[in-house]
Amino acid sequence: MTMNEVLEAVRSGKLSVGEASKLMPAGNGNGGNRLSCKVSATTGALSVYGLQRMPVTLYTEQWTRLLAYADDIRAFQKANDKSLTKKADKVA
C-alpha cells in the first residue's frame, strides 16, 4: 500500500492512524526514506514523519485538499522540472 493509499484510507475512515502507522514502516532511523503517520498529541492533526527534519502536520481537511490536488502538483512538477531544484542538487 502506498503512502497516498494509506492517507486516503485514513481520511475516509477505513483505517485508523494507528493501523496506518503499522502499514508504513517508521521512518527517521533509516536516512529518512520511509514515511510514517501519527496523530499530533497537541492538535489532533495528522503528522507525516520522514520527509524532512520536522514532521509535516496538517488537519485532516487540509490533507484531503492536498491529496485531491496531487495530480495538479505532479503536472506542475513535470512542466517545471528544469527550474525546480532537487535535494541531490543542493547536497552535491
Give mean pLDDT in consecutive 10-residue pieces for the chain, a chain of 92 residues. 79 83 57 81 93 93 96 96 85 63
Return the residue matching grid coordinates 492538535: 43
pTM exceeding the 0.85 threshold for the entire prediction: no
| DSSP H or E segment with residue 49 | strand 46-49
pLDDT of residue 10: 83
C-alpha cell read off for 40 = 499530533
Cα separations in angstroms, 86 against 11, 54, 56, 83: 29, 19, 19, 10
pLDDT > 70: percent of the chain: 87
Longest Cα–Cα distance in the chain: 42
C-alpha cell read off for 6 = 494509506
Tell which residue, 46, 55, 56, 51, has the closest CA to residue 13.
46
pLDDT of residue 28: 42
